[in-house]
Amino acid sequence: MHPCLSCGACCAHYRVSFHWSEADPALGGAVPVELTESLRTHERAMRGTNQAQPRCVALDADIGRYSRCTIHQRRPTTCALVVASLEFGQRSVQCDKARTAHGLPVLLEQDWRDVGQAERNPPPVL
């Protein structure tokens, strides 16, 4: 099983901000605008993430036990850019920091042993 499916720490650690157009259906944006809030002139944020103890409104999780994004196929680009540590052979500072903040150990190569290439989540090409 992909380690992110038993984690969720990044979604409960970081503010998720992105260009407003990603939530504008008239411009082809896919992020549900009702799950976002205005942040700055050209930015929106996922509700729940712009606070002292962030937790994305789209996160369905018990951190460290199970995790899923309820809008995974429609999530902001910034979410898709966060890669799990060692998923592609390199450490992810963002992943390690979020996991540590939630009392979870950083991912090791052995955590990927049974995860096939097809199950991995490559970041989008921008």
pLDDT digits (tens, 9 = 90+) for 50-90: 999 999 999 999 999 999 999 999 999 999 888 899 998 89
Q: How high is the pLDDT of residue 125?
A: 55
CA trace torsion 101, 93, 107, 31 (10° rounding): 80
CA-to-CA distance for 48 and 41, rounded, in angstroms? Answer: 19
Q: Are strands 36-40 and 43-46 parallel, antiparallel or unpaired?
A: antiparallel
Q: How sure is the predictor about 108, in pLDDT bands with cuts at 50, 70 and 90?
A: very high
Write the DSSP assignment of 46-84 as a string of letters: ETTSSSSS---TTEEEETTTEEEETTGGG--HHHHT---
Q: Does residue 38 carry a pLDDT above 90? A: yes
Q: Specify the pTM.
A: 0.89
Q: Does residue 120 carry a pLDDT above 90? A: no
Give the chain's length.
126
| Nearest by Cα to 78 from 4, 7, 14 | 14
| pLDDT, greater one: 116 or 104 | 104
Write down the mean pLDDT value for the chain. Answer: 92
